[in-house]
Structures are given as C-alpha cells and as structure tokens.
Structure 1
Amino acid sequence: MPTDCISYPETNYFTNLILDYLSQKKKLKELYGHFPELQNFEKQIAEKESSFDHAIRKDLVKVLKKQYSGIETSDKTQDNIRLLGEKNSFTVVTGHQLNLFTGPLYFLYKIVSTINLTEKLKQKYPDQHFVPIYWMATEDHDFEEINFFNLNGKKFKWNNADPRAGKTAVGYLSTEGLDEVFQLFSAEIGDGENGKFLKTLFRKGYLEHDNLSDATRYIADKLFGEYGLVIVDGEDADLKKHFIPYAKNELLEKRSFEKTTSAVEKLNELGYNVQVNPREINLFYLNEEIRERIIEKEGKFFVNETEISWTRDELLKELEEHPERFSPNVMLRPLYEEVILPNLCYIGGGGELAYWLELKDYFEAENVTFPMLLLRNSALLQSGKQSGKRKRLNISIPELFLKQHELINRKVRKISNIDIDFSPQKQHLVDQFQHLYDLAEQTDKSFIGAVKAQEVKQLKGLDNLEKRLLKAQKRKLKDEVERIAELQNGLFPNKSLQERQTNFSEFYVEYGPELIEELMNNLDPLESNFKIITFGKE
C-alpha cells in the first residue's frame, strides 16, 4: 500500500500551540510532563506504578465485566480486561464523543493510534502489559455535535430523537428514531458484501440496543475488538466513588479553577488561543433527565436552572451516597480518567491536547500523575485513481493542502505560456518611486504625500492588470482548472480535512476490512507527520 507524508506545519491545518508542542518549544515545557518518546515511558511507568491506587483495579475489572455482559467480544479484549486487575498492567487512553455511526474518520485514527502504541510499548517493555482504552464520553450532553454523519457528500441526521436530547447525558438517550436513519443509510450504501456488513453493524448497533452508550460500545467493539480494545463508560457508581475526594475538593475549594488559572494566563501571554476557560465549579449534576452545572451562591449550592439546592452538609451527603450523580466537565474529566485508570498516555486531537496543557498544576495539587500527551495520527485517504490524477496535473502533495484559489492560481501561472507574475514590474516601480521620494525630500517635503499616493495608485493598477490577466488565463485553461478543483474537492470535502468530515463507511463500502488493516499498518503513533494513504492502483 503506497504511503506518502507531509509535515504538520506544511498542512496549514494545525494551530501554533500544537506545532510548538510537537517541536518541544522551551516556553511550553512547564505545561506537560514527559514528552511521548518511547524511551521516556520507563519513567512514566515508574511514576504511575508508585502513585496509582491499585485497589481501584478490582472495581475497574468488575465494572468492565458488567458493561461487557451483553457483548460477545474477542478473547483478546477479555484477556485485556482481566489484565487490568494486575499491578504490572497499564493503559493508553483515547476518548471520543458518542457520534452517530462513529462520526468523522478521525474516530478510527484515534483508536488505531492507541492500539498501535500499546503494541510498541509491549515490544519495548515486555515485562509489563499495555491495554488500549476507548473512554466513551457518555456524560456529554451536546447532542447537536453528535447527531449526524457525512457520507457521499450527504448529511445523515438523527431527527426524531429522544426528547431528553440536549438536556441530559447522551449515553442515556434512547435509540428510538434511528430506524429512519437506517433506511436512508441502507439505500445509500448499496447491497455489496461490504455494504451488507455496514448495514448489519448499524442495525445491530442502534436498532438492537436500547441506549446510545450500549450501541456505541457494540459498534466500536465490532470494529476493533479483535485488536483487544477495551471500552470504558465512566458513568458508574462503583467507579465514581473513587472520585469522591476530588469532587469534594472541587465543590468546597474550587480546586481546578484555582490551579489552572496560571496555565491559562501563561497560554494567553504566549499568544495562544485558550481552548477552555475553567468555571469556579467544574461539575454537573446528572440524572436521566438533566445534566446541569452546579453553582455556589452565598454558601449554598444550586443546580443551574432548576429548583434543586443543598446546604454544604446536604451536598456532601448527596456526593457520598450518589457519586454517580456528579458529572465532571471537560476540565475535570481528565483527572477522573487518570484516577480510575493506570494510565500512561492520553491520545487526542489538537483541541484536546490544548485543554490538557492547562491541567498539569491541577494534577500536581491533587497528587495524581500527569500522563504523557500524544497527538493522534492524521491521514488523508485517496484512491489510486486520485493519486494518478494528482501526478498528471503535476500537483505536489504540499500543494494539495493549499487553499483552492492559491492552488489554482499557482498552477495556472505554472502552465501558462505567458508570464502572469508582475513582481519584477512592481519592484521596478518601487525602485523608481524611491528616487522620487529622495527628490521630494531634497526640494519640498510636502510632496511626499503626493508621491506616496501616486505609488499606491500605480501599484494597485499593476495588481488589477495581473488579476485580469490571471482571470483571462483561467478561462482559457478552464478544463485544467476544473480538474484541479474536482480533485481537491474530492479529497478535502467542504474545504476541510477529510478526517474531520467524512464517515468511515464511505471508504469501508469500497475497501472493506482492508481499510482498518491498512490504517493499522501505516499509522505510527510516534511518527510525527501527516500520512497520505493510497488504496488501489493508479
């Protein structure tokens, strides 16, 4: 399977914060622990082993067996669940929302990165066990972010959803209404062998499970169970009881707000966009009907936009008796994951790593080991036909990632039989006007403004001439321009990275199991570049 790659900076799709993190810029060093290089995991293992409460392992295994009770998963996943009970077992974690039918392609890339890193760690450190974890974001309640997927340029949306959608955790939501999506999806995907697999996966996932948590677990397991992936739903009283001391600190001392403020200020001072601004209390109150923020006013605690309230003692009693009702938000969920799991490394996208970089001081204040942070793999999938077309159009891989107007202008200039670059003429004009500036300076300085105005006017005139010639040449080369646009639009849907738009089914229906096999073979989580993977012959 042919593969190419491009550096992350060359793609123009990654923030300065992530690029600087990957470059290990000194100004960011204090915001993270060990950088994710294979040799650094020895220190991370030692730190996690000594700080982790190994008594949690028993509850973790018990909960996982309960959550998997309705699934016939692989022997490898069952073995990995059992191994989590042993002191020399550690995890690598990725997390993701419960997007409909996995959402965009990068869901696959996250999990492949996670599985492949555990394999590398096992080779390097054979005396330990390493378990890949997908932490389902079952407690999120932003339904609009997860209720659709894109296939063949069409949006498949879950319209007739549970009336609680958007009000409570998505994991609770009934799968009713997804039969309509299934009918539309079935008609789109066709009746080939791969299409039948996808339809069965969708039908058994959503139409044979009662809630979104169980449905998502089933689908992720069918795609990755053979590789030993373990799927965790943190919304469980037996797990959350271990988080009670940290939740108490949050409620009474506003610990996360206090301890993340300096990192947020530092990121602002360095000119980065801050991903998440912490609230004073970063916990929600959760039940099957609502997920709402907990706020404090004048010594009493309230659930936002409800009649629910507590005194301090009543709140602590509620926390002790019902820890499952206290739901961490995006700032606290990382700590909860690291308290529950013997984890070494978190794998996420750029946005996720950006908010993790706010948290190191908070982890230290709570005496929880801060994990390594690894950017998930990114890739562009293309057919052999698309690869051949790119080469015939003489478009390099870095050029493929340009904005479309930049790409077309560059190629039109390159293939034209006339020179449409007026840069030499503009420079000549600037040089001429410099002489006029010198003359005005020596005679009458009041003329400098007039000289400047004339310079701007003439440069603008050259700009306009250049644009008109370029436009005329585009018309002359219309077929070439259309072919360039068609190729790029096919690889960058909605003028965005393919991995952020397209659902995996669009490729699975064509390539079947080979899709995941090739991702497993080609995505190296410790190789810091953007992969281009070609399927089929040119």
Structure 2
Amino acid sequence: MEVDCIPFRKTGYFSQLICDYLDQKEELKPFYNRFPLLENFESQILEKQKNYNPSHRSVLVESLKSQYKGFNVSETTQENIDLLLKDTTFTVVTGHQLNLFTGPLYFLYKIVSTINLVSELREKHPDFNFVPVYWMAAEDHDFDEINFFNFEGQKVQWNVDASGAVGRLKMDGLDSVFKTWTNKLGNSIQAERLKELFQKSYLESGNLAKATRFLVNELFGQHGLVIVDGDDSELKRLMIPFAQKDIFENIPFKSVSESIGQLEKISPNYKIQVNPREINYFYLEEGLRERIVEGDGVFKVNNTEIVFTTNELRDELTKYPERFSPNVIARPLYQEVILPNLCYIGGGGELAYWLELKSYFDELDVTFPMLLLRNSALLMTQKQADKVRKLQLNSSDLFMKQHSFINKKIREVSNIDIDFGPQKKYLEEQFQSLYELAKNTDPTFLGAVKAQEVKQKKGLDTLEKRLLKAQKRKLKDHVVRMAELQNELFPNQSLQERQANFSQLYLEMGEDLIPQLMASLKPLDSCFSILRY
C-alpha cells in the first residue's frame, strides 16, 4: 500500500481535547502518566514492574487457559500466554465491544496498532517480553450498539430480544442474518471464506463472547494476540478490594468528579465523555445487568426487588465477585489491576474518558497506563486515487464538510474570481474614513454609517453566493464527480472506518488485507493515514 499521512487536527474529526493531548499541551500533563513515545516506555516498564502484584500472573494465566478451552490456539498465542507468568512480561491492550462480525472497520485498526506496537517494543527492549491483548467488553448490556454491521451501505442487523451482559447472549436468530447477508456476497474465494468465518463464529458457538473470541482468534491468532474476557469469576476475585473502595467509599466518584472540573477549567470546549456515579458497579446475573444504588441506608439493584444491607453486600461481593460488573469508569482500573499493562490503545472518545481517571488510579496506587490514540485510516483504491489526481484535489480536502469542500474547489477551478475578500477589505477601509467624518461632524451619525456598511457587506455576500451558485451550475459535472468521490470515501458523510465493515475490503483483498494493514500502519506516527491499494 502507498501511504500518505495528515495530522489528526487537520481532519476536523477529532475533538479539541484529543488534539491538545496529541500536541502535549502543558495544562493536560497532570491527567496522564507518560506520553506514548518509544523512549518513555522504559520508565513505564520499571514503574509497572514495581507496582504490579506478581501473584496476579498465575491467576491471569489459569483464567486464560480456561477461557481458551475448545479453541484452536496458535503456537504464538500459547507462547504469549505462558510468558505472562514471567515478571519481565508486559502487555499492550486494546478493548472493544462485541460488535457483530467486528462492526466498524476501526476494530481491525485497534488490534493492528496493538500488535505493531508490541513489535516495536520487542525490538527496542529485547530483555523484556511484550504481549498484545484484546480485552472483550463482554459485560456491556447495550445490545443496540453492537447488533449490526454495515455492508455496502446497508445495515446487516441481528434482531432478537436481549438483556443482561451481551457476552452471554445465545446465538438465536443469527441463521437468518447469515442467509440474508450471504446472498449479497457472491461466490468468489473471498466470499466463501467470509461465509465460513461467519458460520463458524456465530452459528457454531454457544454465546456471543465465544463467537467473538473465535472470529478474532481466526483473524489475529497467528500474530500472538491474547484475548481476555473480564467476565470471569477468578479475575474478578482480584478486583474485590478495589470494588469495596468504590461501593462503600465512593472514591472514584470524588476523584473523577474533581478531575472533570479541572478539565472544564482548562477549556470550555473539552467535551466530558463520561461522568462517574456514586457507585460504579452493576449487579450481574443471567439476563440482568443493573446498577447498584445506595439509598435509605441500604443498597438496591435498580429495576429489581434485590436489596442488601451494607454487611450483606460486602458478603455478596466476597462470595460472588462474578456478580459485580464494573461500568465504564471502573472497568479501566479492573483491567490495569489484572494485567501487567503498559499502554492502552483506543479511539478519541475512549482516551477522552481515560484522561478523567488518573487521580482515581493514583489514590488507589495503581499505575496509570500510557494512552495511545489508535491508528486511523482512509483506504482508497487506485482507481479512486486516480480520480483524486484528475480532479486536482488535495487529500486533506476530502475531509472537509461537503458544502465547504465543493465551494473551495469551485473557487479554485473557476475562470472568474469568486472571492470578494479584497472588495470587502477595500469597503472596510472606505468606511473607516466615513466613521472619522461622522465622528468629527455629528457622532449621532455613526449608527447610520455602521448600518450602511453592514448593508453593503451583505450585498457583496449575496452577490458572491449567487455567482458561486452560477459557477456550480456551469461546472455541474465537476461538482457531481467530486461529491460522488467523497461519498464513496466518506459514507454517510462520516469517516470510512466508522461506517464500513472489514468484509467489504476482504472481498477485494482477501488474506492480504490484514498483512497489508500491519505493514502500513505505524502506531506511534500520530497521524491519520491515507492508504492506496
């Protein structure tokens, strides 16, 4: 693949908070531990090695062996699981929901970023071992966020009544989804492979967590990826003391709320991604995942008749930790307690809420991981790249809102000048003389002069818009081709990676897709990649 790169800030698709973080803005430094530069990892390794409980390694490895029972484990993945027993082994983690058939394309980019960073760390620090990890968000309960993927502009959706943790969902109804979708695939070698992947993942697995493990293992197992399901009783047993601090002392609610207030003071444009609750745990049973709330001296499970006294809830947590499910605030801490982790790789929204959490980690003496924005990419065919060249477009132009994108290009290709900026500037200079004249003659005329200036500027704006509209009609073919190209590359006026599913690209590239992504995406480059294939 040929690769171009543009700064994240110039795309217009990333928040001010994330752009400021990538620029290492001084005011944001208290909200993270170390910036993800290759030279900073040695200090992170030493800190995590000192602060990570070594007894957690054996629990982690035994749980992983149990979770992988019945799956075809690659030699590389098995080696990585065994390496986790050593105190010189560390992880790089990404996490994601259990989206149907991986969901949006960026799911692949997350994992590719993780595997590629591990490769760089191994080369830089040969005395240590590094393991890429995908943490499955198996306990999420928002089924509507994960029950579909987009294929060639159409939604492929799994419709079934669902409640509780999505990882435990049975595969009811997916046979009809399979039939509907595969009718669109054709009979190429790549199409047959996609059909096989879907069938073995979703029609031959017991639940959604197992289906996702099978699929991701098929796609990335040869690269040594280790898949962790946090919905595990033995792993959650390690979480008990931290859950107690949350449920009975409300520590994250206090510390995260304070961090949010500090972030808002830095800039009113920083969008707060998540807000903490007094208790950041759900009660989890089959078909049930509801918030635990405190009131009237007791603890209740929302929308149920389940009630605990303080002592009863402490006892429940100790005996049945698997019944307690961390929310978006508590889950990152759970992950970092379980894993000897150095770095979390996520999207802009994820990093935004991680930046709220450092003081919470500090208070509980858990090492805060480095935060790396995952790779983002726009993939275009050579044919599309040729269209970009023929239309004399810059890659960065494609990221503009379509109205601005077309107007900018029309001005560039037009044989007349439709930028009235100079005329407006000249008009302002002329009115300055009139302001001076009015001020020295009769100051009450200043308002009339201002009104006349506004009127004439408005007239120029109207004329400029009419001329631009006329040029669009004149250059209609050019406008149509530009709009069609942008719509191909930015479906629904959104980033391709947030809309398309990997299956579309797999139909064209087959088994070369993931190797080419791995060869092209550099996790520490900190820019948006444009890949031509």
Say whether the fold is shared (TM-score over 0.5): yes
* CA offset digits 1:410-459 (Å, max 9, x no partner): 11111111111111221222222222211111112222112111211111
How far apart, in 1, do the equivalents of 2:364 and 2:423 lie?
64
What secondary structure, in the 3-state scheme, does the structure 2 residue paired with 1:188 have?
coil
Q: Is 2:458 aligned against 1:460?
A: yes
How far apart, in 1, do the equivalents of 2:258 and 2:102 lie?
36
Match of 1:198 in 2: 194
Shift of 1:355: 0.7
Which of residues 183, 190, 207 in structure 2 aligns to 1:187? 183
The equivalences for 1:353-502 within 5 A come to 353-502=351-500
The equivalences for 1:71-220 within 5 A come to 71-159=71-159, 161=160, 163=161, 165=162, 167-220=163-216
What secondary structure, in the 3-state scheme, does the structure 2 residue paired with 1:513 have?
helix
Shift of 1:484: 0.4
* CA offset digits 1:274-327 (Å, max 9, x no partner): 111111110100111210110111321000111100001100110011000000
Q: Which runs of 4+ in 1 moved over 2 A?
A: none
Quick check: 193-202 or 452-461, which moved more?
A: 452-461
Match of 2:337 in 1: 339
What letter corresponds to residue 449 of structure 1 in structure 2? G
What letter corresponds to residue 510 of structure 1 in structure 2? E
Do the aligned partners of 1:105 and 1:504 also contact (CA within 8 Å) in 2?
yes
Q: Is 2:294 aligned against 1:300?
A: no
Do the aligned partners of 1:221 and 1:229 also contact (CA within 8 Å) in 2?
yes
How far apart, in 2, do the equivalents of 1:373 and 1:81 lie?
23
What secondary structure, in the 3-state scheme, does the structure 2 residue paired with 1:292 have?
strand
Do the aligned partners of 1:267 and 1:273 also contact (CA within 8 Å) in 2?
no
Shift of 1:181: 1.3
What letter corresponds to residue 107 of structure 1 in structure 2? F
What secondary structure, in the 3-state scheme, does the structure 2 residue paired with 1:81 have?
helix
What letter corresponds to residue 325 of structure 1 in structure 2? R
Which of residues 285, 288, 291 in structure 2 aligns to 1:290? 288
Match of 2:56 in 1: 56
Match of 2:36 in 1: 36
Shift of 1:255: 1.1
* CA offset digits 1:149-207 (Å, max 9, x no partner): 11111111111x1x2x2x31111111111111111210112110111111110111100
Match of 1:242 in 2: 238
How far apart, in 2, do the equivalents of 1:530 and 1:43 lie?
28
How far apart, in 1, do the equivalents of 2:20 and 2:414 lie?
39
Which of residues 242, 247, 264 in structure 2 aligns to 1:251? 247
How far apart, in 1, do the equivalents of 2:194 and 2:132 lie?
24
Do the aligned partners of 1:175 and 1:210 also contact (CA within 8 Å) in 2?
yes
Do the aligned partners of 1:491 and 1:498 also contact (CA within 8 Å) in 2?
yes
Which of residues 523, 529, 532 in structure 1 aligns to 2:530? 532
Q: Is 2:272 aligned against 1:263?
A: no
Which of residues 225, 234, 241 in structure 2 aligns to 1:229? 225
What letter corresponds to residue 409 of structure 1 in structure 2? N
Shift of 1:62: 1.1
What letter corresponds to residue 134 of structure 1 in structure 2? Y
What secondary structure, in the 3-state scheme, does the structure 1 residue paired with 2:380 have?
strand
Shift of 1:500: 0.8
Do the aligned partners of 1:282 and 1:331 also contact (CA within 8 Å) in 2?
yes
* CA offset digits 1:27-63 (Å, max 9, x no partner): 0111111111111111111111111111111111111
How far apart, in 2, do the equivalents of 1:216 and 1:322 lie?
26
What letter corresponds to residue 153 of structure 2 in structure 1? G
What letter corresponds to residue 55 of structure 2 in structure 1? A
How far apart, in 2, do the equivalents of 1:252 and 1:405 lie?
53
What secondary structure, in the 3-state scheme, does the structure 1 residue paired with 2:42 have?
helix
What secondary structure, in the 3-state scheme, does the structure 2 residue paired with 1:512 have?
helix
Match of 1:9 in 2: 9
How far apart, in 1, do the equivalents of 2:113 and 2:63 lie?
25
How far apart, in 1, do the equivalents of 2:406 and 2:368 lie?
46
How far apart, in 1, do the equivalents of 2:199 and 2:82 lie?
30
Do the aligned partners of 1:302 and 1:308 also contact (CA within 8 Å) in 2?
yes
Do the aligned partners of 1:377 and 1:523 also contact (CA within 8 Å) in 2?
yes
How far apart, in 2, do the equivalents of 1:313 and 1:224 lie?
45
How far apart, in 1, do the equivalents of 2:41 and 2:466 lie?
58
* CA offset digits 1:51-85 (Å, max 9, x no partner): 11111111111111111112112111111111112
What secondary structure, in the 3-state scheme, does the structure 1 residue paired with 2:400 have?
coil
What letter corresponds to residue 502 of structure 2 in structure 1? F
Shift of 1:503: 0.5
* CA offset digits 1:220-250 (Å, max 9, x no partner): 1111001000000010111100000011111
What letter corresponds to residue 526 of structure 2 in structure 1? S
Match of 1:322 in 2: 320
TM norm structure 2: 0.98
Shift of 1:120: 0.7
Shift of 1:127: 1.3
Q: Is 2:347 aligned against 1:349?
A: yes
RMSD: 0.9
Match of 1:276 in 2: 274
* CA offset digits 1:351-397 (Å, max 9, x no partner): 11111111111111111111111110111000000001000100011
- Percent identity over the alignment is 60
How far apart, in 2, do the equivalents of 1:327 and 1:475 lie?
58
Shift of 1:261: 2.0
Do the aligned partners of 1:194 and 1:509 also contact (CA within 8 Å) in 2?
yes
What letter corresponds to residue 172 of structure 2 in structure 1? E
What secondary structure, in the 3-state scheme, does the structure 2 residue paired with 1:90 have?
strand
What letter corresponds to residue 327 of structure 1 in structure 2? S
What secondary structure, in the 3-state scheme, does the structure 2 residue paired with 1:421 have?
coil
What letter corresponds to residue 54 of structure 1 in structure 2? P
How far apart, in 1, do the equivalents of 2:200 and 2:494 lie?
32
What secondary structure, in the 3-state scheme, does the structure 1 residue paired with 2:299 have?
strand
